[in-house]
Structure 1
Amino acid sequence: MSQRSDLRRRKATLEGEWFRLVPRLKTTGPAAGGGADALRHEVTESWARSLSSVDPGRDSAPVTDGGTVHHRWTDSPLRRPVDDLADELRGIADDAGFVTAVTDESGTILWTCGGRTMTRRAERVNFAPGGRWDEQAMGTNALSLALRTGRPSSVFSAEHLVTALHGWVCYCAPVHGPDGRVLGVLDMSTTWDRSNPLAMSTVRSLVSVIEARLRTELPRRPRDNPGQVRLTCLGSDQAVREEQPLALRPRQLEILTLLALEPDGFSPERLREALYGDRAVTASTFKAEISHLRRALSGGIATRRYALTTPVSCDAVDVLRALENGDAETALRLYRGPLLPRSAAPGIEQWRTYLEVAVREAVLASTRPEHALRYGERAPYDVEVHEHALRLLDQGDARRAVAAGRLSTALRD
């Protein structure tokens, strides 16, 4: 009974702070934060970031196309370890009155389980497959904080920005792949009055089991079914399979990048032109590069029309997908620099320009100043971006000094 009373008092205190502070943040920005002992700094910062894109009065999360979600879950590296733990996850959810969710790295829910009552409550706010719970879509919540910080997070009652979630408490931890990348998050949520500090340790233990299975899963795969290739081509150039770099020359990385960006493939003539332009290169040289890449991919390139026949995940493709979904936050997080910066291949140069322009336009269209500030770190001479940041930042925001300094430097050069 004492615990329930403590939770009720905490809920009431947070709701009071929410009604005091959120309206001020909407009108005066981040400078209005602070001064509330009951509120964590990361929560008020998230509120300030979220208010530019999220209406606190919205009643549910936006939804991604169901077919897309099905394919994402089918292809997700988390699917197999989660399937293996499904009975345990369902048992915990049923016994404790929770609903459990697994998301991808963008914050889109791919899988859930729970008892009938909690599942119905969750579905009313689209806490279900297809629901988008990143900060830009649904404001401050445990999933968005865990994705942003890379650390476990819990959010109680009115710490959520959206009022429809003030009756909830959520416990969440990111799931890291063997290479350290965040692959998604595991979340357990319930009503505020069931809040229990042991829930977080349960989530962390389950994530540890999933991560251990991810580390041991790839070596068990048969030789004729090699693991998925991960291509990193933004700001760097490397292809990795099962944590081992593939021995590819720069030209072969260019070919792999072009094939990843254009899944419909290339005719031999068009691919050759994309690689060499007007340079005189023999057919045997061109075919030798293709043959070497095909061997490295265990035959994963079609012969007559060059296209990938084996799964290849690519950071540039991930950025394009995020931009297509209107998710500038994820696109900026993944965009770590120009496409294959040392390449002079005409096809790569075209895609490099396309990506740079697309990301920059998303920044200029965003109403969130942190997007312009983050992009401005990599574009020190982009006057328009720095001016955009200054327009979005409130007069009392300390970050104006950073934007103003960058603008001054850009105007001098």
Structure 2
Amino acid sequence: MTTVRDELQAQRVDAVRAWTAFVEGGDGDEVRPEILSSWQRSGSAITPDVAEAPMADEDDTRTFYAESPLSVAVSRIEEELRRTADDGDLVLAVTDADTRILWTYGGRVMRRKAESVNFVAGGRWGETAVGTNALALANVNAKPSMVFSAEHFAPIVHNWVCWAAPVHDPVTGEQLGVIDLSTTWDRTHPIGLATARVMARLLENALPTAPPIGRRRGAGASLNAGLELTLLGRVEVVLDGQRLLVTRRQSEILALLALHPDGLSLEQMHALLYGDAAVTTSTLKAEISHLRSALGGQLASRPYRLMMPVDTDVDRVLDLLRAGETDAAVEAFGGDLLPGTTSPALAELADFVAVAVREALLARPTPGAVLRYSSLAPYDTEVVEVALASLPERHPARPLLLARLASSRA
């Protein structure tokens, strides 16, 4: 009587025979088309005798993962992932979009096997690194994939069977990476691929799912959930109704991200924040990492962008000015944007906002708005003078404006 293991052994023998025929003569008639295509791509990049997967830079991998929304998702379902690995003696791995492993966990047996071939955080498992495997196929073809035994291009994993499924950002649809489940070939199970799909859906459901920051509310709208930034005259950061304590530099990073809803690369952020100052990108990465923790992981990377609704007093003031509502804009204007900032981009924006408010007042110097503005900019006498010139002699606001003018000249 033929057992399941007998059937798997026969399947393994067929896979080895087909692999040998391809390696020795390029014949691939006996394998699935997606495996043959992958073998051909792999063969043009590497030889089958790789001993282990190459490793990416450890610090870069750690930093990237800490900044990735995948780290939030894994942390939220890690107990379930670990239980799945332990129960099935599997090794699970989550990769980035380049098939670099970011997180992995293995059962007792598979963990040792995984470590021997660098199936660990930082291991590069793309086709050009180790040849055909389920992680690379799922990534390249953007669909769940299975690779059994010698369907792998490199013999170092001929004893494995792997199932992988892509993981997508539920908001943007971007493919963030893949999740893979691997074990030994003799433990192949029909539900392996279905399990990979389920794990991928679990990860996607655990990702930060708030709409991107670009989907802003209109001026003056109430912000019940998300991020609210006060940047004019004083700094205050409120997340979901709770005030956050952040450093001056972190508030500047938040301001830049709020003003660039489509995101910023590391290099763009560095230039906008530091200009020509001699500050390393590692310092910036550390600041962003701390900020991500404070935001509960809702700060994506590559590009860096906030994954939540946002409202800023800067946007409110500028929106009101565009609408011609000068009095309301001055009421919302709390003073200079991040006074004393050393960020060249924010200093430029601060000048723009201040000039915009001032020019609007010069064009329409209503007494109440001028009085409020002059309390924030007491030495800007021209605005007060223009307002006085526009008022009749007996206007009730004249004494207040004259007093303000006299105090500013004292």
Q: Which TM bucket (shorter chain)? A: 0.5 to 0.7
2:309 aligned partner: none
Q: What are the equivalent positions in structure 2 for 1:2-401 lying under 5 Å apart?
A: 2-25=3-26, 33-36=27-30, 39-177=31-169, 178-214=171-207, 216=209, 222-223=227-228, 224=237, 259-260=268-269, 262=271, 265-267=274-276, 303-306=341-344
The answer to whether the 8 A contact 2:58-2:122 is kept is yes
How has the CA–CA distance of structure 1 residues 209 and 257 changed in structure 2, closer, same or farther, with 3 Å as cutoff? closer
- How far the C-alpha of 1:258 sits from its partner, in A, is 7.0
Number of paired residues? 256
The letter of the residue matching 1:266 is G
SS at the partner of 2:342? coil
SS at the partner of 1:63? coil
2:302 aligned partner: none
The letter of the residue matching 1:157 is S
- How far the C-alpha of 1:263 sits from its partner, in A, is 7.1
Alpha-carbon distance in 2 for matches of 1:124, 1:267: 45
Alpha-carbon distance in 2 for matches of 1:301, 1:2: 76
Taking structure 2 as the reference length, the TM-score comes to 0.55
The answer to whether the 8 A contact 1:157-1:167 is kept is yes
SS at the partner of 2:52? coil
The Cα offsets for residues 225-278 of structure 1, whole Å up to 9 and x where unpaired, read as: 789xxxxxxxxxxxxx9xxx9897xxx99998972474774259xxxxxxxxxx
How has the CA–CA distance of structure 1 residues 79 and 307 changed in structure 2, closer, same or farther, with 3 Å as cutoff? farther
SS at the partner of 1:10? helix
Alpha-carbon distance in 2 for matches of 1:133, 1:189: 13
The answer to whether the 8 A contact 1:171-1:199 is kept is yes
Alpha-carbon distance in 2 for matches of 1:83, 1:253: 26
The answer to whether the 8 A contact 2:46-2:130 is kept is yes
How has the CA–CA distance of structure 1 residues 34 and 59 changed in structure 2, closer, same or farther, with 3 Å as cutoff? closer
2:374 aligned partner: none
The answer to whether the 8 A contact 1:265-1:305 is kept is yes
Alpha-carbon distance in 2 for matches of 1:6, 1:264: 62
The letter of the residue matching 1:35 is D
How has the CA–CA distance of structure 1 residues 214 and 20 changed in structure 2, closer, same or farther, with 3 Å as cutoff? same
The Cα offsets for residues 94-139 of structure 1, whole Å up to 9 and x where unpaired, read as: 1111010111111110111122221111000000001000111111
The letter of the residue matching 2:341 is T
The answer to whether the 8 A contact 2:132-2:153 is kept is yes
SS at the partner of 1:193? helix
The answer to whether the 8 A contact 2:69-2:208 is kept is no
Tell me how large the CA RMSD over aligned residues is: 3.7
SS at the partner of 1:154? strand
SS at the partner of 1:59? coil
2:283 aligned partner: none
How has the CA–CA distance of structure 1 residues 192 and 255 changed in structure 2, closer, same or farther, with 3 Å as cutoff? closer
Alpha-carbon distance in 1 for matches of 2:180, 2:112: 17
Seq. identity, %: 37
How has the CA–CA distance of structure 1 residues 301 and 174 changed in structure 2, closer, same or farther, with 3 Å as cutoff? farther
The Cα offsets for residues 19-40 of structure 1, whole Å up to 9 and x where unpaired, read as: 1112323xxxxxxx5422xx11
The Cα offsets for residues 321-366 of structure 1, whole Å up to 9 and x where unpaired, read as: xxxxxxxxxxxxxxxxxxxxxxxxxxxxxxxxxxxxxxxxxxxxxx
How has the CA–CA distance of structure 1 residues 215 and 12 changed in structure 2, closer, same or farther, with 3 Å as cutoff? same
Alpha-carbon distance in 2 for matches of 1:140, 1:247: 43
SS at the partner of 1:170? strand
The answer to whether the 8 A contact 2:272-2:343 is kept is no
The Cα offsets for residues 360-410 of structure 1, whole Å up to 9 and x where unpaired, read as: xxxxxxxxxxxxxxxxxxxxxxxxxxxxxxxxxxxxxxxxxxxxxxxxxxx
Alpha-carbon distance in 1 for matches of 2:79, 2:263: 44
The answer to whether the 8 A contact 2:55-2:122 is kept is yes
The letter of the residue matching 2:53 is A
Alpha-carbon distance in 1 for matches of 2:259, 2:68: 25
Alpha-carbon distance in 1 for matches of 2:262, 2:201: 34
- How far the C-alpha of 1:140 sits from its partner, in A, is 0.5
The letter of the residue matching 1:171 is W
The answer to whether the 8 A contact 2:101-2:124 is kept is yes
Alpha-carbon distance in 1 for matches of 2:176, 2:139: 9
How has the CA–CA distance of structure 1 residues 256 and 51 changed in structure 2, closer, same or farther, with 3 Å as cutoff? closer
User: Whose radius of gyration is greater, 1 or 2?
Assistant: 2
Alpha-carbon distance in 1 for matches of 2:191, 2:72: 26
How has the CA–CA distance of structure 1 residues 302 and 216 changed in structure 2, closer, same or farther, with 3 Å as cutoff? farther
The answer to whether the 8 A contact 2:161-2:183 is kept is yes
- How far the C-alpha of 1:55 sits from its partner, in A, is 2.0
Gaps of 5+ in 1: 26-32, 228-240, 269-290, 309-413
How has the CA–CA distance of structure 1 residues 187 and 263 changed in structure 2, closer, same or farther, with 3 Å as cutoff? farther
